Amino acid sequence: MTTKERAIGVVGLGAMGLGMATTLASNGFAVKGFDLSDGRRKLADEGGVAPCETLADVFVDTDFIVFSLPTAKDVAAVVEANLDALKAADDRVVIIDTSTSEPDVSRDLAAGLNALGHGFLDAPVSGGPAGAASGMLTMMIGGRDADVTRAKMVIDAMAAKALHVGPSGAGNVAKLVNNLLAAAHMVTTGEGLKLALSAGLEPEQALKVLNAASGKSMISEVHFPTWVMNDRFDSGFTMGLMRKDVRLASELAARTGAALPLSAAVARLWAESPLDNADDFTRMGAFRATANDN
């Protein structure tokens, strides 16, 4: 089956979903998308994506459906609201959920949809809006081998790296671990540069050392030069989203009995920060003194 013969729906046309939808369209897929916002649907239309007036329209005559939604509750609600359409589908539909969701919710959805003859992949992504718009995301996938194979052409169009890490729920676990570490690295790198500054070393020089030595991380190598050192703080990923992911990781640790004392401290810092949920998450790495500092 060629790309033009594969119908793809995208639910959620926010910063990530819109980029993925337009990337799929630019790769020759027939893509339709839905978002509650008229403005986002208009942007999708301008990017070669057929806008749907209702959510139900996305599920009609569609081979693959990509979700980009805020929470696991939203993901479950969309599936539940469209069960009749899925039951009526002639062929196996594979849902590719790129949301940062909850492992248990993904497992339950995958089991229920498989019983109906459909597939569900928890496939959260890393790479931000720029990666979504360029098809250069990293995707961590949980789900059945057969569904990953069936969806390979779609996944390859969205992601430069796609890692099938295990059965349903495994992708969500991997993403929560990744984001927990990213949240920690944002704080520790900022504190390291604050220490350098207070001790008389230029932060830019300290960052060069970190990125040439064992203190390096994706946060220090990409995020700090791009969004923190120049005070841009506009990565496109919000405090609210990172707070949610850190909270989900902490809840997962509690459920599984994993003792994570340093991560617990990181979680408290993110939860108690005075920054607004709408602020960019890179502001947690700000290390220069401000008028509000004591």
Q: How far is CA 1 from the centre of its chain?
A: 28
Under 8 Å CB-to-CB from 5, ≥6 apart: which residues? none
| Rounded CA separation 18/254 (Å) | 34
Q: Which of 175, 208, 216, 244 is catalytic?
A: 175
Cα–Cα distance for residue pair 175/16, rounded to 1 Å: 15
Cα-based distances in Å from 12 to 17, 71, 74, 118, 158: 5, 11, 10, 20, 15
Q: Is 87 a catalytic residue?
A: no
Helix (H, G, I), strand (E, B) or coil at 30: strand
Q: Is 122 helix (H, G, I), strand (E, B) or coil?
A: strand
Backbone angles phi, psi at 191, to 5 degrees: -70, -35
Report d(CA 92, CA 262) in Å as an integer: 44
* Catalytic positions, written as ranges: 175
